[in-house]
């Protein structure tokens, strides 16, 4: 019998896919990746496993990949300050190559010839998963049932599920498409497709409305060692706890929302709402620390690399040679990115209010206008003459 490993979420689509693949002669093995999507809402993996089995899966793999997600995907993106089109911290995009990696790994273990996913034919995620799988093992067949199957509406799918006793939870479903993990939430569809409409408050999962947060601010000190966040307010944190904690407090103060119209890979513009409290706080602090310790040329060059890095992540090219090479550059830049940044969270904003680092290139005796000034102003005259010389006719 042909075997297929399916990236399974427990939702309606992937549950119907289990049955659909079985009807086409496949033994279906489900793989559920825990990337922290359950934080705060008690995602129940036992329930998901039972649902997969009831839908017809022969076996279910549930893997807690949170540590690997942080170490190998979130941290590199943070060190790179990777942001797509100025707003998106790439939570969904960063998770896909990791899921692809395990689809391939489990396929090898199970001696399966195929992998499958539940992405639609209009999105970026199909591209990310399939390009990654193709790089890791080009011999695997990739099946994308949602692109091919006969159902024309959600109702038809529900009918199919009911007919074959596929367990689904229709009541829980909001009229949005939501993707969530440790690094953030992506929300689209439904009334959000109307660009003139402000997003309704009830779509948000992590953040309070900035208009309803406390009237007082919250101060935080984030310490980094070589580009990696290690402490909050002087207290050592494991990375997973640090991210969860910052999602919690950031969310309390309404920090990390973005409402965005973005350019998708498949050529269309789409509107998505993002929440990334921890990411927003950490990016703000990390960038500020870099402003202190990186010299001008390195800092400016790194900004260009950030743009390219974000594109590569968004475009599904995580396992490409260029992305790999850029990691080498970025890691080199992080050697002196150690120090502490003080932030103030208030009413949806996150601003830097203090910074210190033993590697700081800021020299008060040079920048001061006070009497301890050591800057030799006479040198400026010659500098300006030479600097402007090429432009004189």
Please, what is the minimum distance in Å from the beta carbon of residue 38 to ligand ARG?
A: 16
**CB-nearer residue toward ligand ARG: 186 or 346:** 186
Are 262 and 272 a contacting pair, CB within 8 Å? yes
Nearer Cβ to ligand ARG (141/193): 193
188 scored as a contact of ligand ARG (CB under 6 A)? yes
| Minimum distance, C-beta of residue 248 to ligand ARG, in the bound complex (Å) | 22
Rounded Cα–Cα distance for residues 230 and 388 (Å): 45
Which of 26, 283 has the CB closer to ligand ARG?
283
| 187 lines the binding site for ligand ARG (CB under 6 A) | yes
Q: Which is nearer to ligand ARG, 264 or 347 (CB)?
A: 264
CB of 346 to ligand ARG, least distance (A): 28
The verdict on 315 binding ligand ARG (CB under 6 A) reads no
Write down the least CB distance from residue 43 to ligand ARG, Å. 16
For residue 253 the two structure tokens come to: 């103060």
Stretch that binds ligand ARG, among 17-25, 181-189, 215-223, 320-328 (CB under 6 A): 181-189
Q: Which residues are catalytic?
A: 13, 96, 125, 177
Residue in 75, 178, 239, 305 binding ligand ARG, rule: CB under 6 A = 178
Q: Cβ(56)–Cβ(203) under 8 Å? A: no
CA atoms of 301 and 299, how far apart (whole Å): 6
The two three-digit tokens of residue 392, written as one number:
């004189």
Helix spans in the chain (H) = 12-23, 45-55, 66-69, 75-80, 91-110, 125-136, 145-148, 154-163, 239-252, 277-293, 296-314, 321-333, 364-367, 378-388
Identified binder of ligand ARG from the candidate list 124, 181, 284, 333, rule CB under 6 A? 124
Q: Does 346 bind ligand ARG (CB under 6 A)?
A: no
Which lies closer to ligand ARG via its Cβ, residue 157 or residue 188? 188
Residue 252: exposure state from Cβ atoms within 10 A (0-12, 13-18, ≥19): middle
Q: ∠ CA 302-312-283 to the nearest 5 degrees? A: 50
Q: How far apart are CA 97 and CA 80, in angstroms?
A: 17
Pick the binder of ligand ARG from 272, 275, 288, 290 (CB under 6 A). Answer: 272
Buried-exposed string 170-184: b where 16+ CB fall within 10 A, e elsewhere: eeeeeebbbbbbbbb
Give the range of 178-186, 207-215, 294-302, 337-345 binding ligand ARG by CB under 6 A. 178-186
156 dihedral zone (left: phi>0; alpha: psi -120 to 50; beta) = alpha
Q: Which stretch binds ligand ARG (CB under 6 A): 3-11, 130-138, 171-179, 278-286?
A: 171-179
d(CA 393, CA 388): 11
Say whether 375 sits in a helix, a strand or coil.
coil
Over the window 91 to 110, marking each residue x when it contacts ligand ARG by CB under 6 A and - when it does not, the resulting string is -xx-----------------
Q: Report yes or no: 69 and 95 within 8 Å, Cβ to Cβ.
A: yes
Contact window for ligand ARG (CB under 6 A) among 37-45, 161-169, 179-187, 223-231: 179-187
Site for ligand ARG (CB under 6 A): which residue of 105, 177, 252, 320? Answer: 177
Length of the chain: 393
Nearer to ligand ARG, 147 or 226 (CB): 147
- Identify which of residues 124 and 334 has a Cβ nearer to ligand ARG in the complex: 124
**Exposed / middle / buried, residue 136 (Cβ in 10 Å: 0-12, 13-18, 19+):** middle
Instruction: Provide the mask over 231-270, with x wherever binding to ligand ARG is found by CB under 6 A and - wherever it is not.
Output: ----------------------------------------
Torsion of CA 51, 54, 58, 59, to 10 degrees: 30
Binding positions for ligand ARG, rule: CB under 6 A: 92-93, 123-125, 177-179, 186-188, 272
């Amino acid at each position: 019998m042909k075997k297929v490993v399916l990236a399974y979420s427990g939702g309606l689509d992937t549950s119907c896919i289990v049955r659909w693949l079985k009807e086409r002669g496949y033994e279906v093995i489900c793989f559920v990746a825990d990337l922290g999507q359950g934080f705060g809402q008690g995602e129940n993996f036992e329930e998901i496993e039972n649902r997969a089995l009831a839908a017809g899966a022969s076996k279910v793999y549930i893997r807690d990949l949170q540590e690997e997600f942080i170490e190998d995907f979130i941290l590199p993106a943070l060190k790179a300050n990777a942001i797509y089109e100025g707003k998106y911290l790439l939570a969904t995009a960063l998770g896909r190559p990791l899921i692809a990696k395990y689809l391939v790994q489990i396929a090898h273990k199970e001696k399966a010839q195929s992998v499958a996913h539940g992405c639609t034919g209009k999105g970026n995620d199909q591209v990310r998963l399939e390009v990654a799988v193709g790089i890791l093992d080009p011999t695997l067949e990739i099946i994308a049932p949602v692109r091919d199957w006969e159902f024309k509406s959600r109702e038809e799918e529900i009918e199919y599920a009911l007919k074959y006793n596929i367990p689904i939870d229709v009541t829980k479903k909001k009229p949005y498409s939501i993707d969530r993990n440790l690094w953030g939430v992506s929300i689209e569809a439904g009334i959000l497709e109307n660009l003139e409409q402000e997003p309704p408050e009830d779509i948000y999962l992590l953040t309070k409305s900035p208009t309803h947060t406390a009237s007082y601010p919250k101060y935080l000190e984030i310490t980094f060692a070589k580009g990696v966040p290690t402490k909050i307010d002087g207290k050592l944190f494991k990375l997973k706890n640090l991210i969860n904690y910052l999602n919690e407090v950031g969310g309390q103060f309404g920090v990390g929302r973005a409402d965005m119209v973005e350019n998708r890979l498949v050529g269309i513009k789409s509107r998505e709402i993002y929440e990334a409290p921890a990411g927003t706080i950490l990016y703000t602090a990390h960038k500020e620390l870099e402003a202190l310790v990186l010299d001008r040329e390195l800092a400016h060059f790194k900004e260009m690399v950030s743009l390219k890095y974000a594109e590569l992540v968004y475009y599904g090219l995580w396992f490409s040679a260029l992305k790999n090479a850029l990691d080498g550059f970025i890691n080199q830049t992080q050697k002196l990115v150690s120090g502490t940044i003080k932030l103030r969270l208030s009413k949806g904003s996150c601003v830097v209010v203090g910074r210190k680092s033993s590697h700081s290139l800021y020299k008060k005796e040079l920048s001061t206008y006070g009497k301890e000034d050591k800057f030799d102003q006479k040198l400026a005259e010659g500098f300006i003459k030479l600097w402007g010389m090429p432009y004189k006719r």
